[in-house]
Structure 1
Amino acid sequence: MSTLQVTAERLVVHPHPNADRLELAQVGLYHAVVAKGQFVTGDHAVYIPEQAILPEALIDELGLTGKLAGTQRNRVKAVRLRGEVSQGIACTPAALSGVDLAVAAAERTDFAELLGVVKWVVPVPVSMSGQVESAPDLLRWVDVENIKRFPGIFTAGEPVVATEKIHGTACLLTHLRDGDRILVSSKGIGGRSMSLIADEGNLYWRAVRAHGLDQTARKLAAALDADRIGLFGEVYGAGVQDLHYGASAAQDASLGFGLFDIAVDRGGAPVRWLDAHEITTLLADLGLEVPRVPVLYEGPYDAEALLRLAEGTETVSGANANIREGLVVRPATERLSPVLGGRAIGKIVSTAYLLRDGGTEYE
């Protein structure tokens, strides 16, 4: 998941092609359906993204009682309104009536706390949790922001690599040279600098052992003379999330895994993320066979082409068994992003995935 920020944004307003009383307010590359005349191009409004949980008072103020998602009807979710996908809410809450939203937009002020908006966090199944311990040396995964929200992450024509986004759960493994230790965690638990104590029933430890990831990490650490090696991959299959790709978590042999990143910490230098081609070459040179997420595109960055590529059916199963969740896009040569203030990486989520019924989002 991406981070939750409730920010002021400059809107571009478009006609709604199928409704006389509605318009489309554009934020980045998102469209939020709004009442006609509520905003004009150049106005600033507060944008509340998907996966946000709203307090009852704000829901009532916005006239959204009973119209949001979730059992308590308080969660923002992508919806289709008169044929157009609406992602997030553009609004001007009364609590911010004295705020200069243009200034707030320039300063990237986050209004989430003031408005009582929090991120939706799903309780995870027992197999995906477990006993934990403090792990300050764990290499953590990053929040991958949506390119539609931050279209300036990449520049047109920049060489990029786009991999298929698999709907599973992120598995974090860190090898520590000091003591030859292996730390294993999930994205959510790892985000708190905690690791999972080894347990034969735990999903993440099962994936590590089933795919020999601990031994892979040790060999990579030796080859790169690294103090820490981080392996990041997606664990998937029936019993993990609602999309299964023909795999199953019932048995170790059928549990799916796809490596998507490697991080290297060596000699006190900043942690380095390996380029996609570096990973390919390194694994081949060491004779290591690790399942990886499919590469769907390599070439110059073209936002419109990648938005189209994010749709359709997946390639993971080889049988088009599920809808495609989307893409994860990285520069061909790893770099930092001034837009994000960190690593340049972004995702595009397919419309079919956003609008599906009965979806799960465990992390």
Structure 2
Amino acid sequence: MSIFKVEVVKINSINPHPNADRLDIVSIENMGYQVIIAKGKLHAGDLAFYFPIDSVIPEKFLDEFGIRNYYSKKLYAVKLRGIFSEGLLIPVGNNFMGNVGDDYTEYFGVTKYEYPIPQGMSGEVESFNGLNNGNIGIAIFAVRRGSYFLNYSDFVAFCEEFALPRVPVLYIGAYTWEAVSQFNNANSVVSPNCIMEGVVMQPVIEKTHPEIGRVVLKLISDRYLLRKDGTELH
């Protein structure tokens, strides 16, 4: 289960935009996102409200946040002067008494944009082989047995026993942002002429977390998010 929320974050670093004198590139502590902001609006160590992509922001905040001129229905991932930006950062202001991680979704009245379901995906579930527009290929990256998911070694054995295709494994090792981000914006290893949608990260030994449930992460590539007429139905 993924968590959608507007939350308080701490600014990790600020770097000048190489192609725009009036813009800064911000990295967020303990997050893989970077956000482009007006120069001098935030500094390293500051707290800010982070609004993720797909946030539907109430009308009354558009002028206050200074986003009316480029906001349309929801927040998008964008490229500004050649640099990828994901989300919106708003300074918390003076005398703020909150803490990093505090949830302000309800306070701002923000909801997550719900994409219309394409006509070909509406109605009853189609057969195992594909959808109305033809067959699709299937590859498996996890198997649940009852109420729990198989550990990686058991998952491999299960797929081999029943001759089930598995997704390609690109990396096995300790999790670091550097290890994962090397696959951002790569081409598919299955169909080299296609954009790789992203990568899924999961522990070799299954884990759960009291807030999010099963521990599994997904990095969606910048190019995939920026593709024309894209939706989150990936």
TM-score scaled by structure 2?
A: 0.87
Change (3 A) 1:325 1:361: same
**What residue is the counterpart of 1:75 in the other structure?**
74
Partner of 1:231: none
Supply the distance in 1 between the matched residues of 2:220 and 2:86 (Cα, whole angstroms): 11
Q: 2:142 aligns with which of 254, 258, 261?
A: 261
2:59 aligned with 1:56? yes
Q: Give the distance between the partners of 1:327 and 1:258, measured in 2 at CA.
A: 13
Structure number with greater Rg is 1
2:216 aligned to 321, 340, 345, which one? 345
Deviation at residue 52 of structure 1 after TM alignment: 0.9
Equivalent in 270, 273, 298 of residue 149 of structure 2:
273
- Judging changes above 3 Å, is the alpha-carbon distance between structure 1 residues 276 and 40 closer, same or farther for their aligned structure 2 residues? same
* Separation (CA, whole Å) in 2 of partners of 1:343 and 1:85: 29
Q: Which residue of 1 aligns with 2:88?
A: 89
Preserved CA contact (<8 Å) 1:16 1:24:
yes
Aligned-partner Cα distance in 1 for 2:43–2:159: 53
2:199 counterpart of 1:327: yes
Distance 1:82 1:283 in 2: 45
Q: Provide TM-score, normalisation by structure 1.
A: 0.58
Asked if 1:359 is matched to 2:230, the reply is yes
Residues 222-280 of structure 1: CA deviation (Å, up to 9, x unaligned):
xxxxxxxxxxxxx7xxxx7xxxxxxxx523xx222222222223xxxxx3211232112
Q: Aligned-pair RMSD on alpha carbons?
A: 2.4
SS of alignment partner, residue 104 of structure 1 = coil
Distance 1:115 1:97 in 2: 18
**Structure showing the higher helix proportion among its residues:** 1
- CA distance in structure 1 between the partners assigned to 2:10 and 2:103 by the alignment: 15
User: Distance between the aligned counterparts of 2:171 and 2:197, measured in 1?
Assistant: 15
Aligned-residue offset at 1:91: 0.3
Deviation at 1:34, TM superposition (A): 1.2
Per-residue CA deviation, residues 97-147 of structure 1 (Å, 9 max, x unaligned), is 7642xx332xx32111221211011121344233xxxxxxxxxxxxxxxxx
State the 1:302 CA deviation: 3.5
- Aligned pairs for 1:140-159 (under 5 A) are none
Partners in 2 of 1:47 and 1:57 — Cα distance? 18
Which stretches of structure 1, 4 residues or more, deviate above 6 A after TM superposition? none
1:250 aligned residue (114, 125, 133): 133
> What SS class does the counterpart of residue 361 from structure 1 fall into?
coil
- In 1, are the aligned partners of 2:2 and 2:212 still within 8 Å (CA)? no
Q: Distance in 1 between matches of 2:120 and 2:84?
A: 35
Structure 2 alignment gaps of length 5 or more:
none
Amino acid paired to 1:255: I
- 1-structure distance, mates of 2:219, 2:233: 19
Q: Residues 7 and 104 of structure 1 are in contact (CA less than 8 Å); yes or no, is this contact kept in structure 2?
A: no
Percent of matched pairs sharing the same residue? 33
Task: Provide closer, same or farther for how the CA distance between residues 283 and 362 of structure 1 changes in structure 2, counting only shifts above 3 A.
Answer: closer
CA distance in structure 1 between the aligned counterparts of 2:68 and 2:196, rounded to whole angstroms: 32
Q: Contact 1:5/1:110 (CA < 8 Å) preserved in 2?
A: yes
Matching of residues 1-363 of structure 1 within 5 Å: 2-12=2-12, 13-27=14-28, 28-68=31-71, 73-92=72-91, 99-100=96-97, 103-105=98-100, 108-130=101-123, 202=124, 204-207=125-128, 210=129, 249-251=132-134, 254-265=135-146, 271-285=147-161, 288-317=162-191, 320-337=192-209, 341-362=212-233
